[in-house]
A and B are shown apart, each in its own frame.
Chain A
Amino acid sequence: MASVAVPAAAAPAKNRDRFRFLTGAAGLTAPLALLLIVAVLAQQAWPAMTKFSWPFLVGREWDPVHIHFGALPYIYSTVVSSALALLVAVPVGIGVAIFLAEPGQAGVRGAIGIGVELLAAVPSVVYGLWALFVMGPWVFKNLETPISDRLGWIPIFAGPPRSAAMFTAGLILAVMILPTLASISRDVIRAVPGGLREASVALGATWWETTWRVILPAARAGIIGAVVLALGRALGETIAVTMTIGNRNQISASLFEPAYSLAAVIANEFTEATGPLHSAALVELGLVLIAVTLTVNLLALGLLRLSGLAARPA
């Protein structure tokens, strides 16, 4: 008996080790790929990095002819347009998610749910076209112009407004990240145990109080995850932003002025780079974009840890 049992017990153990090795190796590929990408980009950007050093990050001028490169306006535009997108998309997305997560009325909710998922499948360039020809002019006429007429004394609304501006780019980004935000948040809200809702209602809370004080806090970790994912997409979005942001290298307090994001300038200038240093500077912008995205992700993770939510399942 014993002579049979020993190999039988050893085989699964061996298999388990092999399995661990395989999954471990598979798990390592993602960070390795990232490292590799960063390494290759760094090599390409090296000439620019040595030449311009840290001032590259804070310089405001971008002049390929005189070989003068500063990335600050691009960093600024990238962060501000994405922040604007979140400001609009997070409340709307969570609202839609709450609506979609409610039980009942499968017909209406089902249709809207499918509509939201389909929005996620629309290619960026189509969003860009739509923003360029439909949303941009509409926003210019019905939002930017009346707002800057009345509230123009506030720097962020200062005129004269432009159809292609930070504001337009932020809005189209909001539309683009909305489906991701809404559908993930809906799933997270649905996963909140029904018993929590019942317990809250039994204490006299209304539907609204229950949603606000119990359901959303319970879904908080997952919703933050959805926001981080959406933010990642907004920061890196290229074509739709290029088509709407106005592509002017400046830092303006006014949201109604044109701006120029990291991804947009890389896409626009790369094929027409005037020299090796120009190319290297553009690659360095790519590195900066990765750094911005990673920083944002780490900040969000830190936020989760701080609020003690990371350990709890969504």
Chain B
Amino acid sequence: MVESAPPRPDLRALPGASEPKVEIEEVGFYYGKFQALREVTLQVPEKRVTALIGPSGCGKSTLLRMFNRMYDLVPGTRATGKVLIAGENVLTTPRLLELRQRVGMVFQRPYSFPMSIRDNVAFAPRLLGWTRPRIEAAVRESLEGAALWDEVKDRLDQPGTGLSGGQQQRLSIARCLAVQPEVILMDEPCSALDPIATLKIEDLIHRLARDYTIVIVTHNLQQAARVADFTAFMLMNPADRCGELVEFGATVEVFNRPRDRRTEDYVTGRFG
């Protein structure tokens, strides 16, 4: 196998791209001594949906969690390189509250906080110390934005845990919309949901992309094809189990005319 330099995709060369919102420059990531990511360079276009795909364990979640420094929760982790949002390096910023307000995250399983639906959505605004009227307005707008308002407007004071799985996932989307983030990260947001709830979330992702930059990890290739404008394919290097970026491009290109042989094997299901 010929050693090839890691891809350094240039957004400006891609049709349909916009200005880069997040610039990932040669990042690496370590869990203790184990290197989970190597030399990933990627530009995430603003107000588009970008999917991260690849086999399990290739580092998709790890890469996603670099955007908002979630890895801070795991002792012994270390990141190298740069993740720039509006010119500021996320990996070294001391202003975590501000970062996490700008970069929201939706997880695989929708965990509602043990409080009312209203308080769930008001959670982040309260951390920021907003006034009551502003919070009230934000609660309504976010629930509308997450396509949940009509279903819950009569029971805002009931616990969020009483909602169905799909509703709770939209509640967690509303929860991060409340502080008007710029980027929304989603880590397999539909993998715990039934097909109908999944469709609702995918519709929602389409609509949210008008106003937000969305990065979604999915193991479901059809889903990536349905929702994503751009797709990044990652793979674990068989030599040292370290994750690498293989290919990045417009979703149609990646799925129909992949440049890398390994991408082609993966998207056509020939991956072993």
Interface residues, chain A, with chain B CB atoms under 8 Å away: 103-104, 193, 195-206, 209, 213-214, 217-218, 220, 308, 312
Nearest neighbor of A195 in chain B, beta-carbon distance: B111
Nearest neighbor of B123 in chain A, beta-carbon distance: A203
User: Do B114 and A204 have beta carbons less than 8 Å apart?
Assistant: no
Partner of B113 from the list A196, A201, A206 (CB cut-off 8 Å) is A196
**Which of A198, A201, A203, A205 has its CB near the most chain B CB atoms (within 10 A)?**
A203
**Once the chains are docked, how many angstroms separate the CA of A235 from the CA of B123?**
39
User: Do B111 and A202 have beta carbons less than 8 Å apart?
Assistant: no
**Once the chains are docked, how many angstroms separate the CA of A104 from the CA of B105?**
25
8 A Cβ contacts from B46-94 to A: 68, 70, 72-73, 75
Known contacts: A203-B100, A214-B113, A312-B161. The answer to whether A198 contacts B107 by CB under 8 A is yes
Nearest CB of chain B from residue A226's CB, rounded to whole Å = 17
User: Do A209 and B127 have beta carbons less than 8 Å apart?
Assistant: yes
Nearest CB of chain A from residue B148's CB, rounded to whole Å = 16
User: Do A202 and B161 have beta carbons less than 8 Å apart?
Assistant: no
User: Do A201 and B73 have beta carbons less than 8 Å apart?
Assistant: yes
**Once the chains are docked, how many angstroms separate the CA of A220 from the CA of B114?**
9
User: Do B70 and A201 have beta carbons less than 8 Å apart?
Assistant: yes
Residues of the B chain whose Cβ atoms lie less than 8 Å from the Cβ of A197: 73
Q: Is the interface of A mostly helix, strand, loop or mixed?
A: helix
Residues of the A chain whose Cβ atoms lie less than 8 Å from the Cβ of B175: 199, 203
Nearest CB of chain B from residue A9's CB, rounded to whole Å = 33
Residues of the B chain whose Cβ atoms lie less than 8 Å from the Cβ of A214: 113-114
User: Do A200 and B113 have beta carbons less than 8 Å apart?
Assistant: yes
**Once the chains are docked, how many angstroms separate the CA of A120 from the CA of B124?**
40
Known contacts: A193-B111, A195-B109. The answer to whether A200 contacts B176 by CB under 8 A is no
- For the complex with contacts A193-B111, A203-B175, 5 further pairs of A-B residues with Cβ separation under 8 Å are A196-B114, A199-B111, A205-B123, A205-B127, A214-B113
Nearest CB of chain B from residue A303's CB, rounded to whole Å = 16
**Once the chains are docked, how many angstroms separate the CA of A220 from the CA of B179?**
28
User: Do B113 and A199 have beta carbons less than 8 Å apart?
Assistant: yes
Nearest neighbor of B161 in chain A, beta-carbon distance: A312
Interface residues, chain B, with chain A CB atoms under 8 Å away: 68, 70, 72-73, 75, 96-101, 104-105, 107-109, 111, 113-115, 123-124, 127-128, 159, 161, 172, 175-176, 179
User: Do B123 and A213 have beta carbons less than 8 Å apart?
Assistant: yes
User: Do B73 and A104 have beta carbons less than 8 Å apart?
Assistant: no
Known contacts: A204-B124, A205-B127, A312-B161. The answer to whether A199 contacts B114 by CB under 8 A is no
User: Do A198 and B70 have beta carbons less than 8 Å apart?
Assistant: yes
Residues of the B chain whose Cβ atoms lie less than 8 Å from the Cβ of A206: 97
Nearest neighbor of A216 in chain B, beta-carbon distance: B114
Residues of the B chain whose Cβ atoms lie less than 8 Å from the Cβ of A193: 109, 111
User: Do B115 and A217 have beta carbons less than 8 Å apart?
Assistant: yes
User: Do B107 and A199 have beta carbons less than 8 Å apart?
Assistant: yes
Jot down 16 A-B pairs with beta carbons below 8 A, ordered by A: A193-B111, A196-B113, A196-B114, A197-B73, A198-B73, A201-B100, A202-B100, A202-B105, A203-B127, A203-B175, A203-B176, A204-B96, A204-B98, A204-B99, A209-B127, A217-B114
Residues of the A chain whose Cβ atoms lie less than 8 Å from the Cβ of B109: 193, 195
9 A-B pairs with the lowest CB-CB distances in the bound complex, closest first: A204-B100, A202-B105, A204-B97, A195-B111, A203-B124, A218-B114, A217-B114, A196-B111, A199-B111
Known contacts: A195-B109, A197-B73, A203-B100. The answer to whether A308 contacts B159 by CB under 8 A is yes
Nearest CB of chain B from residue A308's CB, rounded to whole Å = 7
Residues of the B chain whose Cβ atoms lie less than 8 Å from the Cβ of A196: 111, 113-114
User: Do B75 and A104 have beta carbons less than 8 Å apart?
Assistant: yes
User: Do B127 and A204 have beta carbons less than 8 Å apart?
Assistant: yes
**Once the chains are docked, how many angstroms separate the CA of A220 from the CA of B101?**
28
Residues of the A chain whose Cβ atoms lie less than 8 Å from the Cβ of B75: 103-104
**Once the chains are docked, how many angstroms separate the CA of A310 from the CA of B72?**
35
Partner of B104 from the list A203, A205, A220, A312 (CB cut-off 8 Å) is A203
**Which of B73, B97, B105, B179 has its CB near the most chain A CB atoms (within 10 A)?**
B73
Nearest CB of chain A from residue B68's CB, rounded to whole Å = 6
Nearest neighbor of B124 in chain A, beta-carbon distance: A203
Partner of B107 from the list A104, A195, A217, A308 (CB cut-off 8 Å) is A195
**Once the chains are docked, how many angstroms separate the CA of A195 from the CA of B70?**
12
Residues of the A chain whose Cβ atoms lie less than 8 Å from the Cβ of B176: 202-203
Nearest neighbor of A309 in chain B, beta-carbon distance: B114
**Once the chains are docked, how many angstroms separate the CA of A226 from the CA of B143?**
37
Nearest CB of chain A from residue B84's CB, rounded to whole Å = 20
Residues of the B chain whose Cβ atoms lie less than 8 Å from the Cβ of A201: 70, 72-73, 100
Nearest CB of chain A from residue B179's CB, rounded to whole Å = 8
Nearest neighbor of B105 in chain A, beta-carbon distance: A202
**Once the chains are docked, how many angstroms separate the CA of A91 from the CA of B203?**
47
**Once the chains are docked, how many angstroms separate the CA of A64 from the CA of B229?**
90
**Once the chains are docked, how many angstroms separate the CA of A214 from the CA of B98?**
20
**Once the chains are docked, how many angstroms separate the CA of A218 from the CA of B73?**
19
Nearest CB of chain A from residue B78's CB, rounded to whole Å = 16
Residues of the A chain whose Cβ atoms lie less than 8 Å from the Cβ of B72: 201
Nearest CB of chain B from residue A195's CB, rounded to whole Å = 4
**Once the chains are docked, how many angstroms separate the CA of A205 from the CA of B70?**
12
**Which of B114, B124, B128 has its CB near the most chain A CB atoms (within 10 A)?**
B114
Nearest neighbor of A196 in chain B, beta-carbon distance: B111
Residues of the A chain whose Cβ atoms lie less than 8 Å from the Cβ of B68: 202
**Once the chains are docked, how many angstroms separate the CA of A293 from the CA of B183?**
55
